[in-house]
Amino acid sequence: MIDIITQTWSWWFSGALIAGIMFFLLYFGQSFGFSSNLRTICAASGLGKKVKFFDFNWKSQIWNLVFLVGAIIGGFLAKHYLSTDAPVQISQATITDLNQLGFAAPASLQPAELFSMEAVFSLKGFLVLALGGLMVGFGSRYAGGCTSGHAISGLSDLQVPSLIAVIGFFAGGLIMTFLIFPLIF
């Protein structure tokens, strides 16, 4: 029984939980969209005085900030009470491809080459994390949503704009993976 909890959860169970979270948020009168929190934090920091986009009643979004805090706690609980710390079980083909780019086989959930403290304090390592975050933040607001808002909430409502956004997510992801990774790693 404990094994079922501590090993990797199956895709269908995790997918069903995410759908369940979306329905509970709808039932509670809200909707599932995580990246809105980025705009809310900007607004709560007082940036609405300078930029109109952040001048809105951010206090109506406190529920989502509480959801964000819950997500951090969830990550902590998963790490300390629900896992064995086994390396992520990705396919051999991916391990081989990433080896050629200079990444060692997984030793945990994240590659040390990008997320260890040594990597963070190197210029290239810092730039990778900073630019990655910058593009996620800029792109999600430009597209009006991220994976939760478009790929889950929007597609569940069969919205064409969300389908276009998801096509964009994959276009960008494939360009980064197949065209840019060989140049930078």
| Distances from the Cα of 166 to the Cα of 41, 90, 107, 139, angstroms | 25, 23, 30, 12
Q: Is 83 in the site for another protein (CB under 8 A)?
A: yes
Q: Is 126 in the site for another protein (CB under 8 A)?
A: yes
Query: Which of 60, 99, 124, 131 is close enough to bind another protein by CB under 8 A?
Result: 131
**To which residue do tokens 């491809």 refer?**
97
Q: Is 104 in the site for another protein (CB under 8 A)?
A: no
Q: Which of 8, 62, 67 is nearest to 32 (CA)?
A: 67
Q: Is 144 in the site for another protein (CB under 8 A)?
A: yes
How many of the chain's residues bind another protein (CB under 8 A)? 123
Interface of this chain with another protein, residues 45 to 74, rule: CB under 8 A: 47, 51-54, 62-64, 66-74
Query: CA–CA separation, 34 vs 152, rounded Å?
Result: 11
